[in-house]
Structure 1
């Protein structure tokens, strides 16, 4: 194993990025830098607003603050490397660096998937079983669910990363993407990847399809309960509570599936990389706006936070 790692340290991959046109590089640098700053600042404000306002210390906002933290980590895993590559005009990444990036991307993508599922369950209990909400959604349960999701995501990421260590690679080490993705790494392997593909399909089914099925089931029950509400005002209020989460879920899963459907339909890795920008960069950037602009409590907490920050100047 030590001899293998010594050899792999000398292996470098070439991240081709979104475009090789030199004239587009300054535009791409400014675009990615702007989106990264907006993502970090927006999600950081969400975390600070929730932690500073005692009225928002509820399960729904606890999950939202965790989602914002994961979004910051998710984008930090990929965008800084993109900015360095564009600025230095060096697109190489070492094999250990590539595996590390894959491990973190899988961890935070899995954690975001888990938190979105928890948020759906929280809304399900709140609307379908409102009298039991405080009994079911205790701080202990919420913390345990986040911890369990984190552990499963880390185990999933470590499984794929360790499985990739057994691979050998050909002379063509170009990755037509702006970050190291497991699917592209497997395509470059010269050795047998059957076991790796089996692990990908099995784990994706368990940690991807199962949570999505839970979200769909929760919203079927939620919609059924909302339709039974006699007043139009009550229905609107119930739908508005779930609206932001539905938008985020649609963006996350819609763009995620879009990446693989586009790749399978067009067989163009470059087009898949462009679609991946929405999945990995745009969605985390939009989440703070979706949850704050559609939520009066969040807007109030943000105003209080900004006024406090302004008073310290």
Structure 2
């Protein structure tokens, strides 16, 4: 009885070499810094040539009782609302209006122009966007307060200087900055919809809202997941707008974990504690991404069974 020997096709397994650059980049940019961060978090260290004193899990125990950290973590929820929830909802509604209504009434060029207009804040450097909004929200000569004075408001609010308003002012800036991202993705998704579907729905006397629920939302469902995943990760890492607009103030009302880690690293010279904050937030981000990817995979399998 002869044994059949299967020969390995020429070049089989050679594709692993194409993954080598990705593996090197991941190791250098993600894995090594993360391991070093975990290592530093186990010490009390002021950085530079200062001695490193072993602290074990002491920094993590301190973090659990750190009110400033939990305040910054709570503010991350507001960042998710400003970067994920509001722009996604507005983006999908605007995309549907531009494609289904304005594009048909005024032509594709008008819709493309408006899409580029909404996307413009995305291509601005964050420093430029921050300084623009610093001027808009300035309590003395800012455009908002100037307008309020012109209509008779004697004492307009200090948008970035009030602990009660500063966080919401930053959220407004983030919504303006983020809204173009989901809009562009959703418009690209809607471009693959067969126009006859909308025509058939119109013949069946379906209104715009009914068409939106029955055709538009199911079409952009994969893109909604991508937008929510990437924007959630960005919201948990937000740093530059806080640094530019408020510096975490006033009275710590706008502090977020990334800025809190930065402050401990560079302002307070508590490198070990800053590493602890960064490590915890990295684990949170990895966990959120894993949960969302797992949920999406189960949803896709359920759709396939149906």
TM-score between the two structures when normalised by the length of structure 1: 0.29
Q: Kindly indicate which of the two structures has a greater share of residues assigned to helix.
A: 1
